[in-house]
Amino acid sequence: MIKKIYISFVFALAASVAFAQVDRTTAPEPSPAKEINIGEPTTFTLKNGLKVFVVENHKLPRVAFSLTFDRDPVLEGDKAGYVSMAGQMLMKGTENRTKAELDEDIDFIGANINTFSTGMYATSLTKHQDKLMELMKDVLFNPAFPEDELDKLKKQTLSGIAASKDDPNAIASNVRGKLVYGDHHPYGEFETEESVENITLEEIKSYYKNYFRPNIGYLAIVGDITPKEAKKLIKKNFSDWEKAEIPSAEYEMPTPPEETFVALVNREASVQSVVNVTYPVSLPIGSEDVIIARVLNQILGGGFSSRLMQNLREDKAFTYGARSSLSADELVGSFTASASVRNEVTDSAVHEFMAELSKINEESVTQDELDAAKASISGSFARSLESPQTVASFAINTARYNLPKDYYANYLKNLEAVTLEDVKAAAQKYILPNNANILVVGKGEDIADKLDQFGEVKYFDRKGNEYDPKDKSALPADLTVDKVFEKYFEALGGKDKIEAINSMKTVYSMSMQGQTLNFTEIKDNDNYKQEVGMGPMVMSKVLVKGDEVKVLQQGQEVPLPDEAKNNIKSNTKIFPELHYAEMGVSTELKGIETVNDKDAYVVEVTLPSGQVTKSYFDTESGLKVKTSATQKGPQGEMTVYEEYSEFEAVDGIMVPKKNVKFQGRPLNTELQSAEFNIEITEETFN
C-alpha cells in the first residue's frame, strides 16, 4: 500500500514539475513545413498530341477519366451561351444512340458521364471500363446534335434567365463582369434572352469541330488501373483521333478604373443592397505572388475569422457574411469583396469595406493573423491531397501552365516562407481602394444620395449599360397623365371596347417542383375573387363582395386591418384607370424609367386610403407593363410588383401572356385563358 502511494506521489511530482517548466505566456515556435510526397503520375503522349496522366489508386474498384481541352477563351458576341450549350449537346444523343438509349446504356453499368465546353468526365467500376470507353468514344466522336434537343436546351436556358432576371445576385454578377472586363472580353459576357434565341446548330457544330481536338487535350486517368493497362486502353481508342490547328485569340488586358466610382443598379423591390467592390488584377497562375496573394486574401476576407467578416458581421451586424476573393488566371485575374446588407446601412457597409481595404493596403498585418492564415491554407491543402484526383490535377496544371516541376511539392514550404513584408507588398500591389468599381444593386431612391461620398455615382441597367437618369426622367413638355391613359386605352383595343366589358376572368399558371400552380382572377368592377391553387386544392383565396373583404389561407381566414382591406377593394376594377375619378384617386406623372430594357412613363397613383402605387406605360406601345407598391413586411418596407409582357389579342383586347409577380421572390406565370363578359352568378364571389 505504501509503495503504491509513493509511486503515485512520484508521478504527480514529475507531472507538476513538467507543467511548471512550460512557459505559456508566449506562443510556441512554428514547426517547419512538412515534406509533401505527391505521387508522380505516369505520363505519356500519343502521336496526335493527347497528353495522358495515370494515377493508380487500388483502394476501390473504380476508374475515372477526366478530359480537358486547353483553349483560349471564346468571345461569343450576340450568341452568348452557345459555347456552354455545345458541351451540353454532346450528351443529347449520338449517331448510334438516341439520348434515351445513351442514358440507358450508361445507367446499365452504373456509370456516370458528364460533358462540358472544355471536356468531359466519366467514371465506372473497373470491370466496366471497356464499355465505359466505348460510350465515351461514341459521345466524343459521334455527336448527333439533334435540333429538337437544342430547342429544349434553349427553352430551359430561357426559363432560367427569366427566373433569375430579377435576382439581385444574378444582376450583380452580370454587371460586375462588364465593369471588370469590358464589353469585348469573354469574361464580361453573359447569356441574355436575345443571345440565346440567336444560337443555331451551326455555332454548336463549329465549336465542336474547332476545339475538341487531341493536340490541346489533357486526359487524367485515376483509379484501379495500372499504367500498362491504361496505355493499352488509350492507344487503342484514341490513336485515330485527328489533330487540327486550333483557333487562338488575344484580348486587351482590362485595367482598373482611374479612380474609384459607384456603379448603381436600381432595383426598386430591394430591401437589401448587394455590394461588390471589384476590379481586374494581373495575377498569372503559378506566379510568385499567387501563394502570397492567397495568404493576403485569407486575412482580409477568406474565412469566418477574416477582417471583413469580423467587422461587417460580428462587430457591426450589417450582414450574415462578408467575403473577398483574389483570383489568379492565365488571362486576367480579379479582386472582389462582397456582402448583402440592409438598405439603411448600405453606405455604412461600403464605408467599412473601403476602410478595411485602405487599412490592409497601408498597414502591416499582425503575426497572429499571418500564422492563422497559413495554418488554414495548409490544412486545406493537406485535405485536398486525400483525393487521387488532386494528384492528377496537379500534374495537368504543371503541364498546362508551365509550372516548375516541384511547384506543388514545395507548396507548403513556400507558404511557410511568406513574411509580413511579403503580405504588405502584395496588399499595396493588389488591394486598390482608390481604383475600384463599387457596384451596388439596390433601391436607388433610398441609397443613391448617400453613396456619392465614395466617388461619382453612375447608373447602370441590368445588362451593364451606363445611362443618365436625368435623360430618363425628362418628359415631353405637353405630356399629361390623361394623354398617357388615352394612349393606353387605345393600345388595349379602344376606349369604347374596354368600357363595354363588365366582367373578366384570367387564369395564369406556373410550374413549381413538378406541380402546376394556377392563379385565377375574376372581376366585375364591383366584386373580385382571386384563387391560388394546385390541382383541385385551393391554397389561398381573396374575396371582395361589396364592402366585405376576406383573405383565406388553407381555408382559414386571415385578419386584415382596414387599410389593407381598402387597398384590396381597388382590385375590383377591370381597367381601374377608367374609374379613377369616381374612386377619388389622384395621379401624377413622375418621369421615365426602364422596364425590361424599354422606356416607360411612370404614373404615381394615390388611393383614397393613402396607399401609393406606381403604374408604368411603355412609351412606344402605350401598354401598361408594370405596377408596383411599397408594403410593410417582416424585414421592414418592401416593394411588390407585377410585370406584364408578350401581349396578345383576346376578343380584340390586348392581354399579357406573361405575368411576373414579385413578393419577396419572382413568380413567373403564363396565360392559360382569358374571358370577357362572362356570366356572373350569385355564387361566383361567395
Domains of the chain by start residue, with CATH: 42-238 (3.30.830.10), 261-467 (3.30.830.10), 473-676 (2.50.20)
Query: What does the pLDDT look like over 378-394, one tens digit per residue?
Result: 999 999 988 888 888 99
Reduced to 3 states (helix: H, G, I; strand: E, B; else coil), residue 233 is helix
The number of beta carbons lying within 10 Å of the beta carbon of residue 236 is: 11
Question: Using 50, 70 and 90 to split pLDDT, how confident is the model at 611?
Answer: confident
**What rounded mean pLDDT belongs to the chain?**
90
C-alpha to C-alpha distances, 543 to 281, 519, 661, 674, 685, nearest whole angstrom: 58, 14, 19, 19, 7
**Helical axes 201-211 vs 82-89, angle rounded to 10°:** 80
Q: What is the Rg, in whole angstroms, of the alpha carbon atoms belonging to the chain?
A: 32
The predicted model gives 29-34 an average pLDDT of 56
**Distance from C-alpha of 119 to C-alpha of 211, rounded to nearest angstrom:** 10
State the pLDDT at residue 560. 83
State the pLDDT at residue 20. 44
The answer to whether the beta carbons of residues 312 and 246 sit under 8 Å apart is no
Give CA angle at 447 (435, 477), nearest 5°.
Answer: 105
State the pLDDT at residue 2. 40
Strand boundaries in 573-635, DSSP class E = 586-595, 598-606, 612-618, 624-633
State the pLDDT at residue 593. 87
Cell numbers for 340, please give them: 448583402
State the pLDDT at residue 25. 55
The predicted model gives 519-523 an average pLDDT of 93
**Distance from C-alpha of 298 to C-alpha of 366, rounded to nearest angstrom:** 13
**Distance from C-alpha of 391 to C-alpha of 221, rounded to nearest angstrom:** 11
Lowest mean pLDDT among 116-120, 256-260, 526-530, 682-686: 682-686
Return the residue matching grid coordinates 477519366: 65
**Helical axes 201-211 vs 147-164, angle rounded to 10°:** 100
State the pLDDT at residue 233. 96
**Distance from C-alpha of 81 to C-alpha of 63, rounded to nearest angstrom:** 32
From 63, 44, 139, 43, select the one nearest 389 (Cα to Cα). Answer: 63
Query: What does the pLDDT look like over 221-237, one tens digit per residue?
Result: 999 999 999 999 999 99
**Distance from C-alpha of 357 to C-alpha of 427, rounded to nearest angstrom:** 9
Does 37 score more than 80 pLDDT? no
**Distance from C-alpha of 549 to C-alpha of 149, rounded to nearest angstrom:** 49
What 8-state DSSP symbol labels residue 303? S
Reduced to 3 states (helix: H, G, I; strand: E, B; else coil), residue 674 is strand
Lowest mean pLDDT among 92-96, 377-381, 398-402, 511-515: 511-515
φ, ψ at 468 (rounded to 5°): -100, 115
Does 473 score more than 80 pLDDT? no
In the chain, what percentage of residues exceed pLDDT 90? 75
Does 526 score more than 60 pLDDT? yes
State the pLDDT at residue 9. 36
**Distance from C-alpha of 248 to C-alpha of 216, rounded to nearest angstrom:** 12
Does 636 score more than 70 pLDDT? no
φ, ψ at 145 (rounded to 5°): 50, 60
The predicted model gives 366-388 an average pLDDT of 93
φ, ψ at 334 (rounded to 5°): -155, 155
The helix (run of H) or strand (run of E) holding residue 361 is helix 346-362
The predicted model gives 562-588 an average pLDDT of 88
Query: Could you tell me which residue, 632 or 422, shows the higher pLDDT?
Result: 422
State the pLDDT at residue 13. 34
The predicted model gives 144-163 an average pLDDT of 92
Quick one: how far is CA 357 from the chain centroid? Answer: 25
Query: What does the pLDDT look like over 392-414, one tens digit per residue?
Result: 899 899 999 999 989 999 999 99
The predicted model gives 291-311 an average pLDDT of 97
State the pLDDT at residue 24. 54
Strand boundaries in 57-162, DSSP class E = 62-69, 112-116, 119-125
**Distance from C-alpha of 163 to C-alpha of 159, rounded to nearest angstrom:** 6
The predicted model gives 489-496 an average pLDDT of 96
**Distance from C-alpha of 656 to C-alpha of 621, rounded to nearest angstrom:** 13
